[in-house]
Amino acid sequence: MPLEIVDDYGESAFALAQTGLLFNLPAPSTEREQLPAGISLCMIVKNEERFLADCLASVRDAVDEINVVDTGSTDRTIEIARGFGANVVEREWRNDFGWARNESLALATRRWTLVLDADEELAAESVTLLRALRETPADLTAVYVQIQNAVDDETGAGSTMTHILPRIFPTSPRIRYRNVIHETIALDETQATPAAVSPILVRHKGYTKAVLDGRSKNARNAPLLERAIREHGDDAFSWFNFGVAAVAGGDADAGIDALERMFAMEGPQRAFFSLGYVVLASAYAEAKGEHEKAIALLDLGLAQAPGHPNLIFTRGYVLSLMKRFDESRDWYERAISAPIDANRHYMVDDEIAAWKAPLNLATTYLQEDRHAEALPWYERAYANKPDSALLRTIAARAYERAGRAYDAERLFREGAERCGDAGFIDYVNFLMRRRRFFEAFDAVERRRDAVDDAAYSALLFSAAIAAHDERLGDPEPYAARALALTPGNGLVLGFLDALYTARGATEKRDALRRGEFAAPLAVSADFARRSHRLLEEQRLDEALAAAHAGLELAPLDALLSYNAALAAARLNRDADALAHLDAVGCDDEHATAALALRAEIQRRSGDLDAAVATLERVRTLAAPDESLLQHATVGLAAALLEAGRVGDAGKLAAFVLN
């Protein structure tokens, strides 16, 4: 029979027992002295005027006092807190969240303490539950609450991830926070505080991109994470937080080392270990290519936390990387049916069953060219998240591949109406793929006032390409207008350069080339064009600087890496050149040029055998550039002849040129 919470602050024995049963709290000894009934809200804040009023409004009917430690606000934070009757104490910030939390706990006078951050709100449906705790006798057992985190996801729509934390606990000097960041409560400084799980829900806004960018959390947290492992290297949670942050920041080696240290520590598995298995397995699979190692880690995690959706989903993902698609789909379907139970797991991604697993499952079919079987899963993902611009576009493209043009156009048109410039560009490109060029051109012209310059330039450039390829008229006016809007646009500059060259319009081409050096650059293609042109004019230092600037925007851009390598090589900075060439993969269209340049550097250093081996690698490429290969071979063969290695020169020529 379900329990009904009495919401009148009743003091009856029945009401007290009812609350204790609800939270599964142990009854304290009758000799234990109890503080006055009630709940003390304890917070630390700094420049939280954006969120604080909503936070305090959500909880004011459930708490008996509000204690706020301000660590240096320069906005209206203190004014807002006092407007809610808060007891505000100001402290100078010490780069230590545990210390600041404890300063706030010292202000509590009621039986129970509730801890919230300013960007959190108590869910309305949990107010009654929290109020019921006021009268409950307290021992030393804390209460876990569910923290539902609003996050940005790849779809462009909001997602949530839920985890549990002990945010309610008896007010006692024996319970205090430890660690300078990602602080946790401890009993008598070192012991884990026993805790019972509750359905109380707190909603957290602070993990959306806009909030994170505004607070620069990542830059702030890095030194604190390092300090935490120095000061609390015996605490697995410190290594967990450091490892997760390192992997997320792109340092897979440091993250793997930290998480391996965490798992090697003595003691029982802790609640957050399941997420540690997910992050560590993902790092091994994605950064190291060690898929079997990743699977073994996930199986260890599932042995500790059976049914955990994140572990199940990640196992499906790793199997897809191994191209074991049937097995991968089986695990994705398990993830879809796995219950979302944040009470049993430290953190659960609430979006896995709704769209992430269906989307990934569809992708496995797509990788096998089984488009018809992929389509229902794309539809399911979009149906479960209809506000997602990305999922709408993916579903539209799936319809297009399946030949369902009407359904594809319906979704593309909907995206054009609801998703700003990006949706409109997708719609126009769909019209062009359908060879409905005049409709596309007309749509571009009618949308001018609603599209920013960069987006309009992209549409005009698409129109120029279509006009050129389909012989629909002169493409130059479209391209010229696009360039006027984005003067440094590398793609448009390259198109017009080639167009003028083909037409023999030398004056126009020369004017174009003279003027482009003063134009501002915005995206990687612009920097690629600029560095290429500077190389042509032998302005090597400027070319290298332009390539480096572009790589700051797009570190994996192969063309920029090649341009940087070429400039460095011509400046006799061979070590730098070779480092940049390492970033050009064998499947890239510039792979032949990169290998030829590497061979030239090796030849120049006198390592002719290495140069020969490098050129021989060109033959292993899927689509080698024969002209470049032959040119490089002639130069290396000449060097071999000069060294008296006539036979080797002949072998190289026979291998490469035949």
CA dist., res. 300 & res. 51, Å (int): 40
DSSP per-residue string spanning 495-542: HHHHHHHHHT-HHHHHHHHHHHTTS---SHHHHHHHHHHHHHTT-HHH
Is the distance from CB of 62 to CB of 130 less than 8 angstroms?
Answer: yes
What span, in angstroms and rounded, lies between the C-alpha atoms of 455 and 188?
Answer: 60
Note the pLDDT tens digit of each residue in 13-22. 444 444 555 6
pLDDT of residue 565: 93
Mind listing the pLDDT tens digit for each residue in 597-620?
998 999 888 888 888 888 888 888
Return the ∠ at Cα 550 (arms to 546 and 555), rounded to 5°: 135
Global pTM?
A: 0.63
Domain coordinates in residue numbering, the chain: 1-144+165-191, 585-658
pLDDT, tens only, 25-71: 888 888 888 999 999 999 999 999 999 999 999 999 999 999 999 99
Can you state the percent helix, strand and coil of the chain, rounding each to 5? 60, 10, 30
Beta strands 39-45 and 120-122: pairing type? unpaired
Question: Could you tell me how far CA 328 lies from the centroid of its own chain?
Answer: 23
Output the CA angle 311-313-316, nearest 5 degrees: 110
Say what the pLDDT of residue 6 is. 37
Residue with tokens 């129109």: 463
* 462-497 pLDDT tens trace: 888 888 888 878 999 989 999 999 999 999 999 999
Q: Residue 658 has what pLDDT?
A: 60
Q: Considering the chain, what percentage of its residues have pLDDT values greater than 70? A: 91
Q: For residue range 161-215, list pLDDT tens digits in order.
A: 777 888 999 999 999 998 888 888 889 887 778 888 888 999 988 654 444 444 4
Give the Cα separation of 289 and 389 in Å (integer).
Answer: 31
Structure tokens at 339: 């219950």
Q: Which residues lie below 8 Å from residue 582, measured CB to CB, with a gap of 6+?
A: none
Q: pLDDT for 230-284, tens place per residue?
A: 887 788 888 888 898 888 888 889 999 999 999 999 887 777 888 899 999 999 9
Residue 70 CA to residue 9 CA, distance in Å, equals 31
In order of 227, 308, 316, 648, 653, the CA distances from 638 in angstroms are: 58, 64, 54, 11, 10
pLDDT digits (tens, 9 = 90+) for 409-434: 999 999 888 877 788 888 888 888 88
How far, in Å, CA of 22 to CA of 54, rounded?
28
Closest Cα partner for 271 from 195, 338, 198, 176?
195
Please state the separation of Cα 246 from the chain's center in Å: 13
Does 220 score more than 80 pLDDT?
A: no
Residue 449 DSSP code: G
**What's the chain's length in residues?**
658
- Do 142 and 70 contact (CB within 8 A), yes or no? no
> Tens digit of pLDDT for each residue in 314-362?
999 999 999 999 999 999 999 998 876 545 666 777 788 888 899 999 9
Describe the crossing of helices 524-536 and 558-570 by its angle, rounded to 10 degrees: 30
User: Which pLDDT band, with edges at 50, 70 and 90, does 560 fall under?
Assistant: very high
Positions of E strands within 29-141? 39-45, 65-70, 87-90, 112-115, 120-122
Distance CA 88, CA 316 (A): 50
Q: How far apart are CA 203 and CA 167, in angstroms?
A: 13
The residues, ordered by sequence, that sit 6+ positions from 499 with a Cβ below 8 Å of its Cβ are 468, 475, 476, 479, 505
pLDDT tens figures, 141-156: 999 888 888 775 555 4
Strands 87-90 and 65-70: parallel
- Which tokens go with 73? 């606000």
A 10 A CB-CB count for 163 gives 19
Parallel/antiparallel/unpaired status of strands 120-122 and 112-115: unpaired
Partners of residue 90 on adjacent β-strands:
70
Q: Give me the helices (H) in 517-644, please.
A: 524-536, 540-553, 558-570, 574-581, 591-604, 608-618, 626-642
625 compared with 336, residue with greater pLDDT? 336
Provide mean pLDDT across the span 547-572. Answer: 92
pLDDT band at 111 (very low <50, low <70, confident <90, very high): very high
Q: Per-residue b/e over 222-250, b at no fewer than 16 CB within 10 Å?
A: eebbebbbeebeebbbbbbbbbbbbbeee
Angle at which helices 591-604 and 626-642 cross, to 10°: 10
The confidence score (pLDDT) of residue 17 equals 45
Task: Tell me: pLDDT of 117 over 50.
Answer: yes
Which residue, among 464, 470, 473, has the nearest Cα to 444 in the 3D structure?
464
For residue 205, CA distances in Å to 117, 118, 601 come to: 10, 9, 53
Give the C-alpha separation, 585 to 533, whole Å: 23
Phi then psi for residue 472, to 5 deg, are: -100, 15
- Which amino acid is it at 344? R
- The mean-pLDDT minimum among 5-14, 551-560, 593-602 falls in 5-14
Residue 244: per-residue pLDDT: 87
Q: Are 431 and 415 in contact (CB under 8 A)?
A: no
Average pLDDT of the chain, as a whole number: 86
- Collapse the DSSP code of 406 into the 3-class scheme (helix H, G, I; strand E, B; otherwise coil) and give the result: helix
pLDDT tens digits for 520-539?
Answer: 999 999 999 999 999 999 99
Closest residue by Cα to residue 350 from 121, 122, 147, 117:
147
Indicate the fold that domain 1-144+165-191 takes in CATH.
Answer: Spore Coat Polysaccharide Biosynthesis Protein SpsA; Chain A (3.90.550)
